[in-house]
Structures are given as structure tokens and as C-alpha cells.
Amino acid sequence: MNGPAGPGTRGGGAPAPGPLVGQGGRVPGRTRRVRVEAWLATGRLKATWDGVLAAGPGWWAVAALWSRGPVAAGPLTFAPGDRLLEIYWADRWYNVFRVLAPPAPPAVAREGHPPAGRAGEGEAGAAGEEAGGAGRLPGQPGGPHPRAGSRAGHPAGYRLKGYYVNLSTPARILDDDGLARGREGEEGEAGAARVSRPVRLAYVDGVLDAVVLPDGSWQWLDQAEFRRMVQGAGRGSGSRGPAGPGRMGEGEGADAPLPLPGPAAWRQAARHLAAGLAAGAGPFVENLVPWDDLERMLFPAPAGEG
């Protein structure tokens, strides 16, 4: 974890605004590789995983695949091959993962009978054209129209499992090498290294989580652990919630690159999140961003589909 944006400070209130790239939660360019860092409230690293990042108005979207074994989070189970579309904000004390299960393996055709088509077949062609042709975010010139909730349908054969809501600090971009600001025509190994280096996106996990199911029902997770944290017990490396789709950090003893909030800030953030979910958890998560448009852009349809 070389070159953190700034030293972490334990205790206190809400984190001071950290260094951001661009304005309103944006990073230069359209999409780029990202390494997400989830930090514990004790200042230790919880997990890291890799994905593809794009920036919207005030938020970042990260596309990643769950590569670990199955992990149960209340009524939602993360499983190998699940698509995670993760949304992080520069000014909100939560992040949200939408989880889609991959299509079931195709049925073996019986002699004289063609295999049954997959659910949703025919959607992938338009999705591939939208992602590959424009390559832009919803709302950007040439990009798809930003429909709230984006109910146009999930990718062919994929099934919505639910939304995982993390109480967290606002996210921060760390140690960005200024890919979009590099000299035009830069060549050589140094230039190639800058292009291939992923940007780092970090947040501090607030222990408390919620799962929202496709029917709009929802439930809290880890409430007892959250109470212990805000009462001063802190959070160790053995957290029960899913760490992330990639490799575990396993409580590595490193200093968090972000300020660490105190109990009062976490309590206030939890109250705000609870109010939003209680008013209608389904609409709350569905209308945050144009989920399906982002899904089509960040998970292009395989060649030959559609």
C-alpha cells in the first residue's frame, strides 16, 4: 500500500474530504482498471479486489466477478461467477452492490430436439452495440439515456439475486497516476506502466450491512457487531460479512489511507441509511443509478450473442 493519499487519523467525527480525481466523483477517461480496497474501522485492511471502473455524476461504478467460494450474507449468497455491479459515492456514507447470478448451463439437446433458448435471449445484441459502439456512461454525449431504475431487463439469462448495502465512509480515489493527463504520444516502458496501472478506490467499512431482495423485502446484517464497534470495541479481522469478490486482505496490519470516523459519525450515518431503507428499500436501491445501462456498458455481451 505505497503512497497513501494521507495518514489515517483515529477517532473524531466524519472524515475530512480526501483527494479526488476530477469533480463530483469522476476520474479521467471512460473506463479503466481499478483495485478496490475495503478497510476496517480499526485501520486494518479487510480485502482488495480488481474490477473495471467508470465515473458518473457524483459516483463511481465498478464491475467485478465473484471469484471466491460461496459466502452467505443473510438471505443473499455470493457464489462463483456472480456479477457484481458496485456503486460508490464521494459524499454518501454507504455503497451498494447489485448481484446477478449467471445463466444456468445450457441443457443438452435430445436427439431430434433443439436446446431451449435462454431467458432474455435477444437482449444481448442491443447491449453489445450500446457498450461497444459508444463506450460512454449514461448521460454522457453519445451514451445511453439515464433511466432511473433502468428496468429494461437484465442481461440474457442473468437473474437478480439482490442488493448488498454497506454502511461505509464516502469512497476516495487514491494515488492516481493521471492517465488522462499524460503527455500525448508518450511511449516506452514508463508510459506503458502508467497505462496498465490500476487506479485505487478505497473506503472504510462501517460493519453494518443490509440485504435488499428483488421483491423489495430487506433485513439488517451484523447489528450486534455494529453496536460493539460504536461502543468502542472496534472490529477485528474476523468480520462475518463478505469481504469482496476477489482476494482477502485478512486483517493485514497496515495503516488505513483514509481518516477513521468515530462512533458518533457512524451512528449518524446508520440513522440516515435506515431512514432511506425504511421509506421503501426496493425503490431506494433501484433508483440510485441506471443499473442495467451500466451493466451493459461494463459487462459487454460476448461475441456472437444477440
Task: Give domain status of residue 7, yes or no.
Answer: no
Indicate the residue type of 172: R
Q: Which residue has the cell 445463466?
A: 103
Residue type at 252 in one-letter notation: E
Query: Cell digits for 183?
Result: 503527455
Q: Stretch 292-297: mean pLDDT, rounded?
A: 90
DSSP line for 145-185: P--SS--S-PSTT-EEEEEEEEEEPPPEEES---GGGSPTT
pLDDT at 156: 73
CA 295, 302, 197, 135 torsion-angle sign = negative
Choose between 140 and 6: higher pLDDT.
140
Residue 58 lies in a domain: yes
Judge whether 225 and 234 are in contact, CB under 8 Å.
Answer: no
Is 17 a member of any domain? Answer: no
Which pLDDT score, from 0 to 100, does residue 116 have?
Answer: 44
Q: What is the pLDDT of residues 37-78, one digit of tens each?
A: 999 998 999 999 999 999 888 899 999 999 999 999 999 999
What is the average per-residue pLDDT within 148-177? Answer: 78
Residue 305 banded pLDDT, cuts 50, 70, 90: low
Question: Domain tally for the chain?
Answer: 1
Pairing relationship of beta strands 31-39 and 199-212 according to DSSP bridges: parallel
Burial 72-96 (b: 16+ CB within 10 A, else e): ebbebebeeebbbbbbbbbebbbbb
Query: For cell 493485514, what's the residue?
Result: 252
C-alpha cell at 278: 425504511
Amino acid at residue number 162: G
Determine, yes or no, domain membership for 131.
yes
Out of 43-52, 79-88, 127-136, 212-221, which region has the weakest mean confidence (pLDDT)? 127-136
Ranges assigned E (strand) in the chain: 31-39, 45-55, 59-65, 71-73, 76-78, 83-89, 94-101, 159-168, 172-174, 199-212, 218-221, 248-252
pLDDT at 255: 76
C-alpha distances (whole Å) from 250 to each of 168, 233, 246 are: 18, 19, 12
Distance separating alpha carbons of residues 261 and 14, to the nearest angstrom:
5
Q: Is residue 12 part of a domain?
A: no
In-domain check, residue 21 = no
Domain hosting 73: range is 31-106+118-298
Q: Counting Cβ atoms within 10 Å, is residue 269 exposed (0-12), middle (13-18) or buried (19+)? A: buried
In a domain, 5, yes or no: no
**217 falls within a domain:** yes
Rounded CA separation 277/217 (Å) = 10
Q: Residue 198: what pLDDT?
A: 87
pLDDT score for 272? 97
| Whether residue 102 has pLDDT greater than 80 | yes
